[in-house]
Amino acid sequence: MALELSERLETPRDIVRSKFRATARWGRRLLAAVDYRLEKRRSRRILCDLTDDELRDVGLTRAQARAETAKSWFWS
């Protein structure tokens, strides 16, 4: 009932697939993080363009909107 050598060891193809999947997962997480931050940037730019009446509807003042749009698009 001994296993064949090929059944006990991963083949080079299996190793490459495993590394490729890990790299693909890492890449998807990176793209998702960048996409999230770019969406925040877009939202802040739209906030900057709102009129005073629209800001009042949202519950913000012009100063609060300016403070939000002044934040870094990436870090905050």
pTM for this model (two decimals): 0.63
Could you tell me what percent of the chain has a pLDDT over 70? 82
CB of 42 within 8 A of CB of 15? no
3 state DSSP class of 1: coil
Mean pLDDT of 25-52: 92
Q: What is the pLDDT of residue 13?
A: 84
Q: Could you say which DSSP state residue 33 is in?
A: H
Q: What is the pLDDT of residue 52?
A: 93
CB of 42 within 8 A of CB of 68? no
Name the band, by pLDDT with cuts 50, 70 and 90, for residue 28.
very high
Q: Answer whether residue 19 shows pLDDT above 70.
A: yes
